Chain A
């Protein structure tokens, strides 16, 4: 999203806090930006607001590799953190799109849910401490550099997924885990007759994969020979011995499900997995919108098909990524050009939310984006969320109106 005023990018927490305090007192508005990789989530930035960028708030605050903990400034990129940790044999399962641009703060604030959470847990469960600049310019810290801490409320986890509406994350402390030594990816066509059995098999493997997808479309972005009905991609990671066994079990399970021959490769497996994650929010210029639907694994394929059928009725082209282990459905709908899409996207959005009330828009550059129901039906506790916003940011200075229920 382009903004009217050039972003301000303070280099220190104090400088950022001063700007926030001044803006808040003056009745101004602030939009918060990191790497802009997830800026298709939520409602667009307010163009009249001051854009505050965390991109120059970088650097490692403490790298305690012997403790398996690390503290970084929020503007550091995911790739920056991951490369550093890889050199120490450690990792954090960020699994977010475009890690070379995505910032730690932005990824946390957006509450990004990666495909390996089934195996490694949510990103929020790696966050052991934080610092946040509140709307009044005060800096509040929570947690610390220990892996267990129940001193007071778990403020850090509350900030995860708060979309910058409670404050601006400026530092994140993580625990890390030993990096899996090896990775392997499987790609195969997934004919319709095999789909249901393949999904059931993937969900019950003795050694669960780290990620498993049914992918339909996304030809340019994702490897794998596409049949007419899509393909399956499975990521295994772990020790060599475990991978050997997991490979045998996966092959035989997919074989029994009738999935045709499988391509297996180790070199480039991680990159191939990352391209799938990148595709979650990849736009086709202004002519696409991508939705995310949360579901259970066993329901995910049927729900993806229903959404696909609905899009077809609107004459929209669809592409889907179904996360067979977590149940996420990612649906990208597109048309010939921006204008054609603009003619039908609002009515499709209504129909989509009738079918899937909780569907969220996660990527869109179309100008009609402001008319879409970006977050879907408000959660049951939305009034309490509004009260929380009012208590943290009474002047609605931070990212106002971009979040759930008009927060």
Chain B
């Protein structure tokens, strides 16, 4: 019945209900999954709206999904229902080069946007490591970051307006230039719990005239993280400031031959982009600081190809760990930048305690850590140890004044950790927003807000 109604609305090629199809959409990049009743692939806002209306009629929840690269179960159909995949809505609807903006559909792949506007001297700044496959819609749902948001800001800084299908199937639009409440800001990062983005106006930036990338290597991870804190404290904000430890560098070099020095305890990847006059000055200032902290290696990429190779290695780092262990779990926490050395010590201690191999590859300039915990899913002891290590890292980040997610989102995975950083009143304020946009909790249920008994606590009177 539900299936027939969906097929009436979208055609047979737009609806999947075979078990082998459903199992593909049961998971994202998080470990746990849930089985949907149906998966739909709409081609237009009108079709998304039709699906939402049908789901409402049948009382089924809805989970919007981009490429499924999310790491915390945000796209998992935790309560079953209908998964709306945006993959067939991948067009650039309008390109306004003069005003440096574009209106895009949610299924457009992040990197495809930058590629399409490159000839006009423009680019789309948010660059999560998944940008070759992840979609703009998914990036909006998680307020995705990436290495370059150190200077350019996260996705929310680059979204100018949205078209949304609400929980009743009605379409509405927002713009950051509208008077009234900034609904755009409320919707970005809401992980599909307030509405389904069917198109977005995004900001494009002019490509910088000068880009320099340097690599520095240290014999101690502590010295590298102190150098990062010192660079920030000196009032230098490079375009990107990334760190990788020896475990990651070895894996990256084995996989990609990206050009990083192996054998060092930690490597920094630094990028400065902007005007010729400023990037030169940035180089001497940053080099002085890393030397002072005992860097044993410093090299600048000489060509665009060398730069690209270094970045490809960095962005492929997580995948490269497949050489170390069959599975990895990525934790995502963010701490005040001066607390980076302490946070890394805590990661090391937690991994040692539970006998887990850890690799660190992260956005150091933002204080945004991504410890990769390596394990074998078939070994129950290792799975349990990874969970304990991940929790210990989360706990230490909170103690250092940090947050439980810097850029991956809360999703399914971390919803019960929300009460560790927010009070009931804090969560109740978020609950009020949810009440307005999704009063029946049918949009991506079981996400962001704490589960079980705690739910009633966050529902304000």
Contacts and interface: CB of A to CB of B under 8 A. Distances in A.
B237 A407 contact: no
B98 A298 contact: yes
B368 A381 contact: no
Contacts of A10: none
Interface in B230-256: 232-233, 235-237
Interface residues of B, number: 77
Interface in A141-167: 141-142, 144-155, 157-158, 160-162, 166
A403 B179 CA distance: 9
Contacts of B337: 66-68, 147
B142 interface: yes
Nearest to A179: B235
Interface string A368-388: 000000011011111011011
Interface of B: 98-99, 142-143, 145, 149, 153-154, 156-157, 172-183, 185-186, 188-190, 194, 209, 229, 232-233, 235-237, 275, 277-278, 281, 334-338, 363, 366-368, 401-410, 414, 418, 421-423, 425-430, 432-433, 435-437, 448, 460-461
Given A134-B429, A160-B182, A66 B406 contact: no
A155 to B, nearest CB: 6
Interface residues of A, number: 74
A111 interface: yes
B186 A404 contact: no
Given A154-B156, A157-B186, A241 B278 contact: yes
A146 B182 contact: no
Contacts of A382: 180
Interface in A54-89: 64-69, 88-89
B241 to A, nearest CB: 12
B429 A155 contact: yes
A403 B181 CA distance: 10
B430 A150 contact: no
Nearest to A113: B177
B42 to A, nearest CB: 22
B143 A150 contact: yes
A401 interface: no
Interface in A197-231: 206-207
Contacts of A241: 277-278, 281
A154 B185 contact: yes
Nearest to A64: B336
Given A142-B426, A145-B336, A239-B277, A151 B179 contact: no
Contact of B421 (A121, A151, A387, A391): A151
A66 B229 contact: yes
Nearest to A245: B277
Interface of A: 64-69, 88-90, 111, 121-122, 124-125, 132, 134, 136, 138-142, 144-155, 157-158, 160-162, 166, 177-179, 206-207, 238-239, 241-242, 244-245, 294, 296-298, 358, 360, 375-376, 378-382, 384-385, 387-388, 391-392, 403-405, 407
- Most chain B CB within 10 A, of A151, A294, A375, A381, is at A151
A407 B190 CA distance: 24
- Top 4 closest pairs, chain A to chain B, by CB: A157-B185, A379-B178, A140-B429, A178-B235
Contacts of B181: 158, 161-162, 166, 385, 388
A125 B178 contact: no
Nearest to A167: B429
A66 B229 CA distance: 8
B421 A239 contact: no
A155 B188 CA distance: 11
A161 B178 CA distance: 10
A158 B236 contact: no
Contacts of A244: 277
A255 to B, nearest CB: 21
B178 A381 contact: yes
Contacts of A148: 145, 149, 154, 334, 363, 366-368, 403, 406-407
B180 A150 contact: no
A297 B101 CA distance: 13
A69 B182 contact: no
A391 B436 contact: yes
A378 B319 CA distance: 49
Nearest to A138: B425
Contacts of A151: 403-405, 410, 414, 418, 421-422
19 contacts: A66-B229, A67-B233, A69-B336, A138-B429, A146-B334, A146-B402, A150-B405, A153-B194, A155-B186, A157-B182, A166-B181, A178-B236, A178-B237, A206-B209, A375-B179, A381-B180, A382-B180, A384-B437, A391-B436
Contacts of A207: 275
Given A379-B174, A392-B432, 6 more contacts: A148-B403, A152-B448, A153-B190, A154-B186, A179-B235, A388-B432
B179 A360 contact: yes
B287 to A, nearest CB: 17
Contact of B430 (A144, A155, A378): A155
Contacts of B436: 384, 387-388, 391
Nearest to B195: A384
A150 B410 contact: yes
Contacts of A64: 336, 338
Contacts of A403: 180
A385 B183 CA distance: 8
A140 B428 contact: yes
Contacts of B426: 140-142
Contact of B408 (A150, A206, A379): A150
A124 B182 contact: yes
Nearest to A153: B430
B401 A378 contact: no
A152 B427 contact: yes
Given A162-B181, A380-B172, A404-B179, A154 B143 contact: yes
Contacts of A387: 436
Contact of A380 (B153, B178, B410): B178
A36 to B, nearest CB: 21
A152 B237 contact: no
Nearest to B151: A177
B235 A385 contact: no
A154 B193 CA distance: 13
B333 to A, nearest CB: 9
Contact of A239 (B98, B237, B278, B428): B278
B250 to A, nearest CB: 27
A166 B335 CA distance: 29
